[in-house]
Amino acid sequence: IFPFGPSSVRKCKLNGFSFDTAMAQLKAIGCNTVHGYVRLGTPECEEFVAACARHGLLTMLETADRKSVGAARDREIADNVARMRNRGVMLAWVVGDDTANYRTPEEVMRDTMVCRAADPTARTISVDVVTYEGRHYPYAHACDAVCPELYPFRNETPEPDALEKVVLNQRNAINDNRRAGAIGKGLLPVLQAFSGWKEWKRYPTYDEVRGQTYAAIAAGARGITYYSYYSSDEAHNLCIATRPDKFEEFATLAREVNALSPDLVERDAKDQPTVTVVSGPKAALGGTPSIICLLKESARGEPLLMAVNLAADGVRAEFRVSCGFTCAQVISEDRTLQVADGVLVDAFDHGATHLYRLMHGGRP
C-alpha cells in the first residue's frame, strides 16, 4: 500500500466527538492510515483501534508511556504489542517523537528489539525533525523507518523556498540512511497541514499542501502523513478538522492521491525524464533544480509523471520521455498536451504541481 492519512486523530466537533465517525469520514475520502495520541491499554485506545478495524484503516501508535523506563518499559511494550499484534490495524509502532531531543539511539533500538520479540512482524518508526544532515544518522539502524517532520510554512507571508525545504530536509534523512548503510529503510514524511503552535503563523494553501505532497513523493517518500488532524488547543491551532473548509480541502487532495495509489505503489521507472528549463530560473533559492519530477512504472503502459516547481518564480520546462508517447493527460486540470518526438513542454507557476498520464495514441 501507499500509506496516506492524518496524524493526531482526536474526537472533536467535526466528527461529533466520535472515533467511529472520524474513521468513517477519513475512509470515505480515501485515507488508509491514521496516527493517534491514545494511551495503549486504555478504553479510549480500544475505542480508537476498534474504529480503525471497522473501517479498514491502519494506524501508528506509541509503544508505551513516554515516561516509562527500564524493565517496566520493556514489559509495557511487550504487553502492548502482544495485545495488538492480531488486531489487523498496526502499520508501525512509534519508538520516538522528536527523537534526537529526548531519546538515545540505544533506547530506540531497545524498543525496536522488544517489539520484534513480541511480534516478529512488528515495524518501528522514529518521528523527528531533520533540518540538518547527521541528526538521524545515529538512529538509522535503530528503527525500520523514519518519519521526517517537514513543516516549512512559518511566516505570515508566502516563503519562496518552502517547497525546496521539504525536498532538502527529506534528503537529509535519506542521506543519513545511506551513509549508515541503511538503504532499505522506509521514508514516511509528515507534512504541514496546520498553523499555530506559536511558530507557524500561516496555514498553507491547498496548492502548497498539494505541492508538498508530490514534491515529497518525487524526492523518495513511500507514504505521506499530515500534521495535524486536530489539536486540543483549538483556540490557537488550526488543523484539518478544526474547520469544515480545511477538511474539504484535505478531502480533495486525499481523493486525488487515493485515485493514484495504483501508480504510487509501482516502482520508480528505470529511465527518468531529462528536464530542461527553457525559461525562468533553472534553480530554486537553495540551489536545487527548479523542477523535481518522478516517473513511475506502469503495468498498463500509461505511466504517471509527477512534477513540481520548487523555484521562486514561474518556469517553462521540457521533459524528454520515451518517443512512444504521443500525448499527456494533465490530471485534475482538464487539459491534454501533445508529446512531440518524446518531448513534453509545460509552464509552471511558482509552486505549481502538474501530474501527467503519459499515453500512446489519442489527440490533445
What is the C-alpha separation between 20 and 59, in angstroms, rounded? 14
Cell triple for 267: 516502482
Predicted confidence band of residue 94 (pLDDT cuts 50, 70, 90) = very high
List pLDDT tens digits, range 160-215: 999 999 999 999 999 999 999 998 899 999 999 999 999 999 999 999 999 999 99
- Rounded CA gap, 348 and 252, in Å? 21
CA nearest to 239, candidates 13, 1, 2: 13
The span from the CA of 356 to the CA of 335, in Å, is: 10
pLDDT of residue 333 exceeding 50: yes
Report the pLDDT value the prediction gives residue 40, as an integer from 0 to 100.
87
State phi, psi for 139 to the nearest 5 degrees: -100, 0
**CA 289 to mean position of chain CA atoms:** 21
**Predicted pLDDT at 323:** 86
- pLDDT band per the 50, 70, 90 thresholds, residue 362: low
pLDDT at 361: 72
Q: With 50 as the cut, is the pLDDT of residue 364 above it?
A: no
Does pLDDT of 116 surpass 80?
yes
pLDDT, position 41: 84
**Is the CB of residue 328 less than 8 Å from the CB of residue 320?**
no
- Dist. CA 344–CA 323, nearest whole Å: 10
- Cell 533500538 sits on residue: 109
Q: In whole angstroms, how far apart are CA 242 and each of 129, 239, 339?
A: 24, 5, 43
Pairing type for strands 304-309 and 291-295 reads antiparallel
Instruction: Please provide the distance, in angstroms rounded to a whole number, between the alpha carbons at the two ends of the chain.
Output: 32
- HSE toward the beta carbon, residue 339, CA cutoff 13 A: 24
Q: What is the mean pLDDT of residues 214-236?
A: 96
Q: What's the pLDDT at 257? A: 98
pLDDT digits (tens, 9 = 90+) for 140-158: 999 999 999 999 999 999 8
Pairing of strands 224-227, 4-6: parallel
With 0-12 CB in 10 A as exposed, 13-18 as middle and 19+ as buried, what is 345?
middle
Q: What is the pTM of this model?
A: 0.95
Pairing of strands 274-279, 315-320: antiparallel
SS (H, E, C) 292-342: EEEEECCCCCCCEEEEEECCCCCEEEEEECCCCCCEEEECCCCEEEECECC
Cα 318 to Cα 347: distance, rounded to the nearest angstrom: 9
pLDDT at 232 over 70: yes
**Spatial separation of the C-alpha atoms in residues 7 and 107, rounded to whole Å:** 24
Report pLDDT for 247.
98
Supply the mean pLDDT for the chain. 95
Give the SS3 label for residue 343: strand
pLDDT (mean) for 306-317:
98
